[in-house]
Amino acid sequence: MAGIIHLLPEGTANQIAAGEVVQRPASVVKELVENAVDAGATTIKLFIKNGGCTHIQVDDNGTGMNAFDARMCWERHATSKITKAEDLYNLHTLGFRGEALASIASVSEVEMRTKNESESVGTRIVINAGKLEIQENVATTQGTSIAVKNLFYNIPARKNFLKSITVETKHIFEEFQRIALAYPAVSFEFTNQDKILSKLRGGTLKNRIADLFNVQESELIEANEQTEIVSFTGYMGSPKLAKRTRGMQYLFANGRYIKDHYLSHAISSAYGRLLEEGTHPFYVLFLDVDPAKIDVNIHPTKHEVKFEDGRHVYTLLNSVVKKSLGVHMVIPTSTQLYNANYENQNSLKTTQPNIRFNPFEAPKPRITSSWEQLDELLSTPVVPVFQASIFSHTETTLPQNEIDIQDLFQVDNAYIIAKIEGELCIINQHRAHAQILVERYNDNQVVASQQLLFPRTLELSKLDLNLYFEMQDEINTLGFDTSEFGKNAIIINGLPSELSKTDGAEVIIQILEDFKTNFQELKIGKKEALRQATAKNAAIKAGKALTQVEMKTLITDLMNCKQSATNESGNTIIVKLTKTSLERFFQ
């Protein structure tokens, strides 16, 4: 009698496995590039089109394969990395499961060309939806080239879940960065839509970090510590490199990128109060552990690992970061504090009184140097007329209704207390101005731009530069006047009129950071995310003293907004204290 349980066809089983291994085009890139690294390649080239949905190609100059291995590598559970279960506890390669290539081939069209040193000719393999169509000899150089086309073409439901080309390209670039950081001695090249986005020469880790993120090497703090349990190497960023998002945090275990919130907390807590609230440190740190004391066989993506003694690793990592920051005098150690005290005491002993000092003489005006005057000139936008108020109205200002506003004053230069239409109100000045700007942007009103007398250049990391190119038109419609300038920089010719001269071009960096948070974490639209980010950074900050005219103008603009009580994120802008609510405090 036939039962109801049966074996799944091999193709169906591979498609099910692909659901875990191949989640998006970036998963394919990760597996192919890691295989190239395991093959001993010194040069790896990545080519993608349409966010990797239609074309992904990885070329390397590694050891290559003979005809037999070229065919076997596409079989499920076929691998050269391990031979028995015990090998899982002595891994020195990135791959080992033998599932990736079979899973990729089952949901795409694949073509591979490969040749090893001992063969006179190479091998060409063509596989369509997991079925071998062509295997033939071909003339090719040593190494391997794999092209994956039309990903998920035979699983339409899965293909529909892919994000936009912009988002998928971003995920691919992130995977590319992680592997490029882990293997700085290897040369990498990334080409998107036939345009080279990144070309990295082999070198030191410090050079690789500087090339990828466009940071000054002087801002990188080296961490190097050897212990019996784990060894630590890599670099941490100074507090100046801290960001509002966690995108620039890279932790590796035995050359493998990992995600571990527990260990990330160890690093962040070591910085302590050096970081502003809501910011996260930049770091690229490597943990070298005995393979027998770490388990990487937890998830097909291999991003999650387990340490045999996780608590000790946490404590050691926290101590190493603190020590490294202290050595570079970011955190003063007890010895440094003692030396500073000693120097201060000596300076007090040797200080001579100023016999020319006259306490009744009026202080002389400070004479600024020509360099200071030049710096002030460079940061001053060209304004046709003097602006008496940062809230000066233009023809595009929101229509205003007459509002009864009395008894205005500020508290801590952050909150405005006012009597509005007979009610006592407390207003958060930063949120109020940001909400005014958001609604102005949403109404597609023309935003005035101030041209800078001397344009400024701004260097960006490769990821941020790519993001800027995608949003350049939207950024310029919000009052910025920017364009591409050189290899890793943009030039800023003008700023929105809401920005004062002290804000400078760095606002664009903060806009990009806030955009990534809004767009990726809050899952809101691209234009809306950009408008919120721009409004937040262009709005006046807490600590800004306002005149009576400016406060009244701000409140009037806020009261004429469509939404004035809370902002887009639901945060309170204005609190009204009625007579009834005041009486409750005294009951």
CATH number at residue 146: 3.30.565.10
Q: Are residues 131 and 240 in the same domain?
A: no
- Residue 118 in domain: yes
Q: Are residues 120 and 267 in the same domain?
A: no
pLDDT at 521: 55
- Residue 354 in domain: no
Q: Are residues 198 and 216 in the same domain?
A: no
Q: Are residues 227 and 193 in the same domain?
A: no
Strands lying side by side in the sheet with 256-258: 220-226, 230-237, 283-289, 249-253, 256-258
Q: What is the CATH number of the domain that holds 467?
A: 3.30.1370.100
First to last CA, the chain: 83
What radius of gyration do the chain's Cα atoms show?
A: 30
Residues 6+ apart with CB under 8 A from 313: 229, 230, 263, 287, 289, 307
pLDDT at 541: 80
pLDDT at 552: 87
| Domain final position from 203, 219, 240 | 203
Give the pLDDT means over successive 10-residue stretches in the chain (587 positions): 72 66 89 91 95 95 93 83 61 68 91 93 93 93 95 86 86 92 95 91 93 87 89 91 84 88 89 83 92 71 74 90 79 50 48 47 48 48 43 46 77 87 85 86 71 78 79 78 79 74 64 69 65 78 85 87 80 83 76
pLDDT at 188: 96
Structural element, H or E, at residue 526:
helix 526-538
pLDDT at 206: 93
- Residue 335 in domain: no
Q: What is the CATH number of the domain that holds 323?
A: 3.30.230.10
Q: Are residues 323 and 470 in the same domain?
A: no
Measure the CA–CA gap between 432 and 97, rounded to whole angstroms.
55
pLDDT at 220: 92
Measure the CA–CA gap between 490 and 510, rounded to whole angstroms.
15
CB 234 within 8 A of CB 324: no
- Residue 342 in domain: no
- Residue 477 in domain: yes
Measure the CA–CA gap between 576 and 424, rounded to whole angstroms.
6
pLDDT at 402: 66
Q: Are residues 190 and 217 in the same domain?
A: no
Residue 532 identity (one-letter amino acid): Q
- Residue 367 in domain: no
pLDDT at 252: 93
- Residue 375 in domain: no
| Domain final position from 177, 203, 229 | 203
Q: Are residues 303 and 423 in the same domain?
A: no
Q: Are residues 173 and 241 in the same domain?
A: no
pLDDT at 134: 93
CB 400 within 8 A of CB 556: yes
pLDDT at 382: 44
For 464, the domain range is: 384-577
Strands 187-192 and 43-49 turn out to be parallel
pLDDT at 91: 61
Bin 74: left if φ > 0, else alpha if -120 < ψ < 50, else beta: alpha
Q: Are residues 156 and 252 in the same domain?
A: no
Measure the CA–CA gap between 24 and 35, rounded to whole angstroms.
18
In sequence order, what DSSP letters do the residues of 290-315 get, joined into one string? -GGGEE-TTSTT----EETTHHHHHH
Q: Are residues 389 and 515 in the same domain?
A: yes
- Residue 460 in domain: yes
Alpha-carbon separation of residue 64 from 98, 139, 329 (angstroms): 17, 13, 48
| Domain final position from 185, 203, 221 | 203
Q: Are residues 430 and 563 in the same domain?
A: yes
